[in-house]
Amino acid sequence: MISENVKRIWKIDGIEVKDGEKLKKMKCVSHLWKTFLKCNLTRNSKINVVGGGTVTDTVGFASQTFMRGMNFNLIPTTLLGMVDAAIGGKFAINFSGVKNLVGTFGKPDVFVNPLFSISLKDETFKEGVVEALKTGAVYDKELFEHVEKNLDKILKRDYVSLRKLITLAAKDKLEIVEKDPYDNDFRHILNFGHTIAHALESASKNRISHGHAVAVGMKLESQKFSPSVAQRIENVIQKLEFADVPSSYLVHLTSWMSKDKKRAGRYIIIPVIEEIGKAHLEKIEVDML
C-alpha cells in the first residue's frame, strides 16, 4: 500500500492511500480492513507500506488489528518517518479529536532510503529535522550538534549531511526503544515538546503540522522546564522559519492536554533536559503547562 504522493512522484506500483492526518480516522481504518478482505489477505500475508508517518501509522494499525495481526514492512518516505515515526513499533490513530489516542504495538521490518526525503516540500522536510533535533536534545549530543552546525547543508538536501542525520537519529531511536519497548518509562523522553504539540494539533484541527507543533512545544517546554538549554534549541528552531501560530489556537491548549494519554490524574510526565543529550522525567501538574 502506497501514499498517493509517493506513487505520483516515484511511479511505484501499489494500492493507493491518501496522505495526511485525515487518514488517521476509524472510518479510514475500516476502509483498509475492507480492502484487506477484498484482497483475500490472511494472517500469513505480508504488506509493504510505503509513505509518510500518517500512512505507516494508519496502515500499520490496521494491519496489527486485522485477524489479530498481519505481517508488514515499512518503507518511510518522509524525513520524519525515517528518523522517528516509522521506527519503534508504535501505531496509532486519532479519536474524538485527540491525537494518537487509540493504538497498538508491532515489530515490522523498516527499510530506510534517504533519497526519498529529497523530493519533500520544505515544510514537510523541516518536520523531520525537528524530530531529529528533539532526539538529539534529550539523548544524543552528537546528533544535536550535527543539526546545529550543519542546518544550512541539511536544508539544501546535502546528501552526506542528511544521511548522517538519519543514521544517528535512527540509531538513537532504536536504542531508546530497546530499553523501553512498550513505552512505560524511559522512552517518554522522546515526548519532549509533544505534550504541547499534540494539544496544538488538536486545537488547530490539524491545520498546524506535527513537526511545526513539536517545534512550538520544544520551544515552550524548554523555556519553562529546561531554561539552561532553551536558547540553543530556540536558535535552531528560529532558523527553520516556521510561520507564527495564531493565538486563537493557543488559548484552549490546557483542555486538550487534559485528554493526553500520558496524563495520570492531574499530573503529566514531562522530559526535563539537564544538558544537551541528557534528560530525565518529571511529574508536572497539567495546569503548570
What pLDDT is attached to residue 204? Answer: 93
Q: What is the pLDDT of residue 97?
A: 86
What is residue 257's predicted lDDT score, i.e. its pLDDT? 84
pLDDT block averages, 10 residues each, the chain of length 289: 92 91 94 97 95 95 95 96 94 91 93 93 96 98 98 97 98 96 94 94 92 96 96 98 91 82 84 97 85
Residue 239 pLDDT: 97
**Shared domain check, 134 and 55:** no
At how many degrees (to 10) do helices 227-240 and 141-155 cross?
20
pLDDT (0 to 100) of residue 30: 97
Residues 75 and 200 in one domain: no
Residues 6+ apart with CB under 8 A from 118: 157, 159, 162
Q: Do 126 and 244 sit in the same domain of this protein?
A: yes
| Alpha carbon distance 193, 160 (integer Å) | 28
Please tell me whether residues 127 and 113 are part of one structural domain. Answer: no
- Overall number of domains in the chain: 2
Domain of residue 273, residue span: 121-288
Last residue of a domain, one of 53, 88, 118: 118
Residue with cell 501505531: 91
Q: What pLDDT score was predicted for residue 256?
A: 87
Q: What is the pLDDT of residue 266?
A: 83
